Chain A
Amino acid sequence: DSGVTQTPKHLITATGQRVTLRCSPRSGDLSVYWYQQSLDQGLQFLIQYYNGEERAKGNILERFSAQQFPDLHSELNLSSLELGDSALYFCASSVKSLAPDTQYFGPGTRLTVL
C-alpha cells in the first residue's frame, strides 16, 4: 500500500458526460501528479500540482482540468468525454516539487466511456 488513495476504483459513463476523479496523497507529500495509462500510449503525464499551485503540464487536453485543495487532495475533472478517454488514471504523490523525487502511485481509477 503506497499510502495514496484514489476514488472511485471504476467508473463507467457515456460519451459527452463529465466525471471527477479524486486523489488523496500520502501524508506529508505536497506534490500530486496525474497520469493517464492506456494500452497503446503507456503512462502519459497530465499535470502536476505542488502545495495547491499548478507546477507542470504535460499532454493534458483542454477538456480536462485539475486542482489541488488546501488539504492537499486533488481532483481531476474530465468533460465532454470521448471513447478514446477510456483508460486508467493514476495519481501519484511526492514530497518535493522538482525532479528527481520518488513518486508514490495510487491504485488508479479505471474509466470506461461507452
Chain B
Amino acid sequence: QKEVEQDPGPLSVPEGAIVSLNCTYSNSAFQYFMWYRQYSRKGPELLMYTYSSGNKEDGRFTAQVDKSSKYISLFIRDSQPSDSATYLCAIPNTGGFKTIFGAGTRLFVKA
C-alpha cells in the first residue's frame, strides 16, 4: 500500500462548479497536510497547508482533514478555467526529511 494515494483523474467540470479533490494516507502519525498546484510545464507551487484535523479556508479554496479516516480533501468553489492544473497532495514526514507527494489529479475547468 502506498503511503499517499490520489486518483490521477482527469477530472473535467464546467466553470462555476464545486470541485472536490481527495487523498488518502496510511500513517496515522502524519500531522501536516499540504496541497500543491502544478500548471502545465511549470513546477508545483504550494497552495495551502493544514495542521491536524479540521478545515482551513483561503478564498475559493478549502482544505479539509479527517484524521480518523486518514482522508484529506481540497474543495474549490466557483471553479474557473484558470484553475485547470494538476493538484498534488503532499504530506511531510514530520521530524524526518521527506515529503511524500500524491500522484496528482489533473483538473480541467471548461468555460
CB neighbours (8 Å) of B88 from chain A are: 42-43
- A61 an interface residue at 8 Å Cβ cutoff? no
Q: In the complex the two chains form, is B42's CB within 8 Å of A43's CB?
A: no
Interface size on A, residues (CB 8 A): 24
Q: In the complex the two chains form, is A90's CB within 8 Å of B97's CB?
A: no
CB neighbours (8 Å) of A56 from chain B are: 96-98
- A4 an interface residue at 8 Å Cβ cutoff? yes
Q: In the complex the two chains form, is B95's CB within 8 Å of A98's CB?
A: yes
Q: In the complex the two chains form, is B46's CB within 8 Å of A99's CB?
A: no
Identify the stretch in B11-19, B69-77, B101-109 within 8 Å (CB) of chain A at 4 or more residues: B101-109
Task: Give the size range of B's interface with the partner.
Answer: 20 to 34
Q: Is the interface of A mostly helix, strand, loop or mixed?
A: loop
Instruction: Given A56-B98, A98-B95, A100-B94, decide whether A42 and B103 contact each other with a Cβ distance below 8 A.
Output: yes
- A67 an interface residue at 8 Å Cβ cutoff? no
A18 to chain B, nearest CB (A): 24
Query: A98 CA to B93 CA in the complex, in Å?
Result: 9
Leading 5 A-B pairs by shortest Cβ distance: A105-B43, A99-B92, A56-B97, A100-B92, A42-B103
Query: A55 CA to B93 CA in the complex, in Å?
Result: 14
Q: In the complex the two chains form, is A102's CB within 8 Å of B42's CB?
A: no
CB neighbours (8 Å) of B43 from chain A are: 2, 4, 90, 92, 105-108
